[in-house]
Amino acid sequence: MKNLSRSLSVLSFIFLISAGCSSTPEVKNQKYAELKSETTFEYEFPVVWKAVETAVREYKITDRDPKEVNEVEIKKLRERMLKTDWIFSKSRDKFIEYKVNNLPRKKYLQTRIKYDVMAESVIGGVKVTVAMDEEVERLNEDGSPAGYESAAEKDSSRANDLLNKIRNAILSAP
């Protein structure tokens, strides 16, 4: 009798786990070409870092290393980094598929991203590397939010867009 009750409890536990896992639709990833997440700018460190700060001025910065630097100290720096807080946006490449009246539909998901920007002096300029943490919102079958989970494949276009913002800030500086 004990074995039967154990078997039933194990089976019910497995059923609950599998039912819980299938309650959210599968997140799919639109395939795009991989874009660059680092580049070297042929300018002095203070010019590049000022452009980095200009490019991320809309975002909340959670960390800088070193924290504060005056105009004299920044000329002596060889590297500096910053981290942003979560930035919320609609995903460009992550979606779920569903059907309405037997017709296929796609819904692009909410995403949140944190940037880690590292600038370091190298021969010929300053190398800027943009690393990202990306999480995608999961949805229940009824469309209600089911929390966030780490994205299996990061959207490289976001890091590339930030590098382009930095490039534009350098070129538009007075």
Structure tokens at 156: 């490289």
Per-residue buried b or exposed e for 33-51, using 16+ beta carbons within 10 Å of the residue's own CB? eeeebebebebebbebbbb
Radius of gyration of the chain (CA): 23
Structure tokens at 35: 């874009």
- Rounded distance between C-alpha atoms, residue 94 and residue 105, angstroms: 13
- DSSP label at residue 37: S
Closest CA to 107 of 160, 28, 24: 28
Q: Are 115 and 128 a contacting pair, CB within 8 Å?
A: no
Give the model's pLDDT for residue 79. Answer: 94
Structure tokens at 105: 């539909």
Give the model's pLDDT for residue 29. Answer: 73
In the block, tokens 């880690």 appear at: 116
Give the model's pLDDT for residue 23. Answer: 63
| Cβ count within 10 A of residue 85 | 12
- Rounded distance between C-alpha atoms, residue 53 and residue 46, angstroms: 11
Instruction: Tell me, rounded to whole angstroms, the distance of Cα 73 from its chain centroid.
Output: 31
pLDDT tens-digit profile, the chain (174 residues) = 555 455 444 444 444 444 444 467 788 777 777 889 999 999 999 999 999 999 999 999 999 988 888 888 888 889 999 999 999 999 999 998 888 899 999 889 999 999 999 999 999 999 999 999 999 999 888 888 899 999 988 999 999 999 999 999 999 987
Give the model's pLDDT for residue 125. Answer: 95
